[in-house]
Amino acid sequence: MEVDKGKGEAEETRKVAEADRDTVTLKSSDGKLFEVSKEAAARLSTVLAGMIAGGSIDDNGTDLKQIGSEALENVVDYCNKHANSIPSAALISSSISFNTAPFKEPEEWERKFVDRLSHDALFDLVEAANFLGMERLLDVTCHKISEMMKGKSPDQIREVFNIKNDYTKEELEEIRQELAWAFYDD
């Protein structure tokens, strides 16, 4: 019994130590801490991969001063979900070992992941993904933005994204004529 118990404890300690090594702690601009799978972070973010490889990861929380807690929570959530979505995620990363695999449509869970975000949260996430060099997440978020543009007139797109029309009427007409070849009805 005694021996068995000892074994169990040793097992526990080993697990904890392993868990420690398997995650990285990130700190948002407003000081909140988040745990993320080290493997997923290194695989999905070129910046975090560099920091992990270069040993500049702080056990007490690596400072990411440019990223707010809401955006960082989404980033971490995305990484952890990606880590769990094996084998398909593993397939992507192993068979196509580069980050920018074009033509790769977002997977169902990735769509859902960005669909639930508010307008501001979506753009916060784009900026965070850009800052952290997360090509795949950039692709997923940019795909979402493009979906918001599809099938809309310029006026409608401006409204969705709060784009100020800074053309004069004459300029707009000029562009329309110049690009007449792109303005057939489809």
Partner 1 sequence: MPPKDAAALGAPGGGGDRLGVLPDRILFRVMGHLKAWEAVRTSMLSRRWRDLWASASRLDIRQPCTCGNPIYDHDRTLEFAKFFKNLLLRRRPLGLLDSLRLCWSHKAVDGDASTWIAYAVRHGAEAIELSGEHDMWYPSPEYMSFIVAGDDLAKNRLRILKLIHVQLDDTTLTQLCSRIQAPNLVLLRCIKPLQHFPQIQKMEFLATATIVLDDELFLPDCQWLQKEDDSDVNSSDEFDLESCDNKNNESDGSSNYYDSDRCYEKYGSLISTDSGGGGMLLSLSNVKRMDLLAHPCEAYKSRVGFHPRASLFKCTNLKTVNITCCKHDVMVHTLAEFFSQNSITNDKIFVHRTACSGCTGCTSSQAKRKAQTEAEESEADQVQEGN
**d(C-alpha 22, C-alpha 41), whole Å:** 10
Q: Where are the beta strands (DSSP E) in the chain?
A: 23-27, 33-37, 62-63
From 11-19, 44-52, 56-64, 112-120, give the range in contact with partner 1 by CB under 8 A. 112-120
Kind of pairing between the strands at 33-37 and 62-63: unpaired
Tokens describing residue 167: 């053309």
Q: Contacts with partner 1: how many residues (CB under 8 A)?
A: 59
Minimum Å distance from CB 164 to partner 1?
A: 6
Minimum Å distance from CB 110 to partner 1?
A: 13
Tokens describing residue 115: 């669909």
**d(C-alpha 184, C-alpha 63), whole Å:** 51
Q: Is residue 168 within the footprint of partner 1 (CB under 8 A)?
A: no
Q: Is residue 52 within the footprint of partner 1 (CB under 8 A)?
A: no
Which residues here bind partner 1, judged by CB under 8 A? 86-88, 90-91, 94-98, 100-103, 114-123, 126-127, 130, 138-139, 142-150, 154, 157-167, 172, 175-176, 179, 181-184, 186
